Amino acid sequence: MQAPFLFTLFFCDAILRLMIPLRPMTEADLDAVLAIEQACFPRAWTRQHFLSELASPHATTVVAEQDGRLAGYLCMNVLLDEAEILDVAVDPSLQRSGIGAALVGWACDEAGRRGAAVVRLEVRATSQPAIALYERFGFVRSGLRKAYYENGIDAVLMDLNLAEEEFDAV
């Protein structure tokens, strides 16, 4: 019963990604990226963080666009057989419109194409919408970092074993 659900989920995700353009992040995007970052996270990445990701040979950075404006972004590292989603955010005014799903689905596909066997991430324990999105993609909770974020908020560690999932449904 699980396989048809996953097929439907990833087929729908592939269709969604056709409707939400994704492209590589460039330095020219950083003002808009930083505005979203600061709106989404109390302890936001700096311009230098993003510049380091853009320069890293192991990093993949993409942005999503909607109606001619930058709507979200994702930063991921792939090293050997492991990928890690380091930062993902969507403009708060556009959240729950499929942009986050398009970015995460793309990251899972890209990690697999680049030879990763697992995708890892961490998320604030208080961010239930994000946790639900990751679980929808098959991520499972693999650990907890106590008081990792500001104000003592825990980080939930999540993993997706790509060998067990099928992302190339289209």
Mapping DSSP to helix (H, G, I), strand (E, B) and coil, where does residue 70 land?
strand
Euclidean distance between CA atoms 104 and 26, whole angstroms: 19
Helix, strand, coil percent content, the chain, rounded in steps of 5: 45, 30, 25
> Which residues participate in catalysis according to the annotation?
122, 134
For 60, how many CA atoms within 13 A lie in the half-sphere containing its CB? 20
Q: Please, are residues 66 and 94 in contact by the beta-carbon 8 Å criterion? A: yes
Beta-bridge mates of residue 118: 82, 161
